[in-house]
Structure 1
Amino acid sequence: MDKITRKTAFEQWASPISNELFTEQVQLHCLDYYTKKLHMASFTKLLLYAQLHETESLRAVSDSVFSEELQEATGLDSISFSQLGRRLRKVPTDFFQVIFLELVAQIHEATDFQMRRKRTVSLKIIDSSTLPLNLNNHRWAAFRQTKSGIKLHLRLVFMENGCSYPDQAVLTNAKEHDRGQLEVLVDDKECMYVFDRGYLDYERFDRMTDEGYFFVSRLRKNAVVRSLEHFELPEDSVVMSDEMIVIGTAQNRSENVFRLLKVLDSKGNQLNLITNRFDLSADEIAELYKSRWAIELFFKWVKQHLNIKKFYAQSQQGVHNQVYIALIVYCLNVLAQLRTNSKRTYLQISRYLKASLWKSAHIWLRKIEGKSVP
């Protein structure tokens, strides 16, 4: 990152958002037509600010504009919470999704060199998490008699140095089954996919194998399998057994052969892992599946430190917009870490940012780079 800058820390942190792309999307969706006050640039800065500070309501966001520094950053001297609510409802989710994906492309570019240097295959983890909503305010998202919610289906790129990041997201109502999202989230033959039992689909496994996609997943203990061959394991292997199988009954059997590994988790429970990868050792496959824990940590981090516990809007579009803003904030933290070669965690980067939000950017940059601040 450029050290010689007159930007504030907030402006520097948000700078990866392309002005050209932002303007293009505003014009494409006609978002600033007939707008007298709350333009998209100001509105987006307010939403980013609200995510950083985990502001609990649009009324609180409106009150925060009392800050002179925020007024200067947004060009607003005041704004009503009703104006913010109307804006959040009307902005198409595609607008924020495009910004999110462009930030992901920047992260890809920054991490691609590291992966080529290590000659490692990209590992992508797929999972979902339910975000609860108030049933009275969000009846469009009802999935049980007393509950509403949406489901965030996510694909996470796993990096060994801890710099894992989301590169694709799909939002559905919570009642939607996970299996249906594999068609959307599996699209790259150059990587390895890891997912849990919720995505089990034997026909899809056959299609993935035929089309050249590699995966490792978890098989149910009561799954019907027929063993074709047992593979020998080294004496120090953590894997209990390794065999070639076909899945299903005689009447409805998989067309391809798969590999079944039995391992014990940290609690001593047996896990049955299925994969179509035969060129890796059993221990390597087990280690790949263990990487799935990274996406659980991601969901935990996002729910604890970003504002997706309380939703500002009652409409589906407004709720989806807030989730994408949270993902944008996460990506900005990832880019801050990558571009400064910082060893700080995302939480530390965010804390230092909030502490120096309106100060000169170089103060924040030096802090997250681990250098003394003059």
Structure 2
Amino acid sequence: MLAGKLIFSQIMEYLPLHMFRRIVQRYDGNRKVHQFSCLDQFLCMAFAQLTYRESLRDIEACLRSQQGKLYHMGIRAQVSRNTLANANKVRDWRIYADIAQHLIQIARKLYIDDEFDLELQNTVYALDSTTIDLCLAMFPWANFRKSKGAIKLHTLLDLRGNIPTFIHISDGKLHDVNVLDILPIEAGSFYVMDRGYVDFRRLHAFTQRAAFFVIRAKTNLQYDRIYSHQVDRTTGLICDQSIVLTGYYQSKNYPEKLRRVKYKDPESQKTYVFLTNNFVLPALTITELYRYRWQVELFFKWIKQNLRIKRFYGNSANAVKTQIWIAISTFLIVAIMKKELKINASLYTTLQILSVNIFERIPLLQIVGNCSYENEILSNTKQLSLFD
């Protein structure tokens, strides 16, 4: 006699089904669907993410080999690669984008009290994008270069808990700075960006909405110094200045004063110039804020290594976006589960354990929560410089 729920079912309990059904109804996702519902599609794709399936044929073979357990996984229909491929192609990807956004709100509330090394009460975001290369012959809609296709994943990362709060998927041609037009801006929050986002008209919108930005300056910056503040040069700081822009278009687009902080990294001996509209924080804290921008780069590296978003199960734009949003939703479900159950193992370790025990009937805490996994750090390990 079988007792207990499958590991997969225990994980999916952290997906709010009432919210899921409401979103599906909003987009009429199950219209003319007789068997393979949007929930079946989501569960099959989430299974593929958790067990690192490489293709639709791979998903079909694995799930059909466990035919007797599909009902207990919540999958009510027969799994077929053609049915799954068609669902990914025709069902509105916005269904899964909205589900991910709802999960983001749940995760942020759970991680809001996580420690942040800098003593700041404000929310700190890191904004960046990553490019996922695609074959132009197979993905003709993914415009990038003449003989190369790609999509961009624009992400705003909350540095408390490293939870993505805003994600926009575009073709490879969209310049990063254009994302600032659709970025949600919260008053009192800090937005840390690289110099690819320097556009003074768009940056002025942060000031108008009482939000702060920290961004690297470009070398062609034209300005006049208003005042120089004292700095401790032993910390690597070179100068801390209040400035006004003097370039014709720059001064029109940003008529207010800015703060310019110049810093030399003692380790790499590289010099960096930062611009910010915050005049209260210490200059060294401004440089440290930019250092934490590297977390978004690590996030991109992590999801590319641990989620199935480099090889796609379909070639249409809808199928690609559906896969990415369900991958992000799966990541968020596991992050929520980890926080709710107070699991000490890292997210990477948790995913590895779940992947090989997905059909077991063991309590989640028994298989993950009580285990102690620590990464052995070698003394000669070369750490990446956060300013590179």
Please name the residue that 1:221 is paired with.
Answer: 219
Partner of 2:148: 147
Pairs within 5 Å for 1:167-186: 167-186=165-184
Written as runs of structure 1 = structure 2, the 5 A alignment for 1:132-211 is 132-159=133-160, 163-211=161-209
Q: Distance in 2 between matches of 1:356 and 1:56?
A: 18
- Please state how far the C-alpha of 1:126 moved relative to its aligned partner: 0.8
Assess, with a 3 A threshold, how the Cα gap between structure 1 residues 28 and 210 changes in structure 2: closer, same or farther. closer
The number of equivalent residue pairs is: 363
User: Structure 1 pair 25/358, CA: closer, same or farther in 2 (3 Å)?
Assistant: same
Give the Cα–Cα distance (whole angstroms) in 2 for the partners of residues 156 and 107 of structure 1: 12
Q: List per-residue Cα deviations over 1:292-332 (Å, max 9, x = no partner).
A: 00000000001111111111111111111111111112212
Aligned partners of 1:115 and 1:121 also within 8 Å: no
- For residues 213-260 of structure 1, give each alpha carbon's deviation from its aligned partner in whole angstroms, at most 9, with x where no partner exists: 111011112322222111101354232221111224257523111111
Question: 1:46, 1:74 within 8 Å by CA — same for their partners in 2?
Answer: no
TM alignment of 1:263-282, pairs within 5 A: 263-265=263-265, 266-282=267-283
On the 8 A contact 1:121/1:192 being kept in 2, the answer is yes
Equivalent residue for 2:70?
Answer: 71
Q: Give me the whole-angstrom Cα distance separating, in 2, the residues matched to 1:310 and 1:167.
A: 24
Gaps of 5+ in 1: none
Render the CA deviation track for 1:165-193: whole Å, top value 9, x for unaligned: 10111111110111111122242113111
SS of residue paired to 1:151: strand
CA distance in 1, matches of 2:144, 2:70: 41
Distance in 2, matches of 1:186 and 1:245, equals: 27
Change (3 A) 1:240 1:359: same
Deviations 1:123-152 (A, max 9, x none): 111111111111111111122111111111
Hey, what's the Cα distance between the residues in 2 that align with 1:272 and 1:255?
20
Q: Which residue of 1 aligns with 2:340?
A: 339
Alpha carbons 1:341, 1:369 under 8 Å: kept: yes
1:101 has 2:101 as partner: yes
Please state whether the residue corresponding to 1:352 is helix, strand or coil: helix
Mapping of residues 318-329 of structure 1, within 5 Å: 318-329=319-330
Distance 2:293 2:120 in 1: 21
The structural deviation recorded for 1:158 is: 0.2
RMSD over aligned Cα atoms: 2.2
1:48 to 37, 46, 49: 46
Q: For residue 13 of structure 1, what is the amino acid of its counterpart?
A: I
**CA–CA separation in structure 1 for the residues paired with 2:33 and 2:247:** 63
- In structure 2, the CA distance between the partners of 1:224 and 1:119, relative to structure 1 (3 Å rule), is closer
Identity of aligned residues (%): 25
The answer to whether the 8 A contact 1:215-1:276 is kept is: yes
Structure 2, gaps ≥5 residues long: 373-388
Distance 2:136 2:69 in 1: 34
Name the stretch that deviates more: 30-39 or 101-110: 30-39
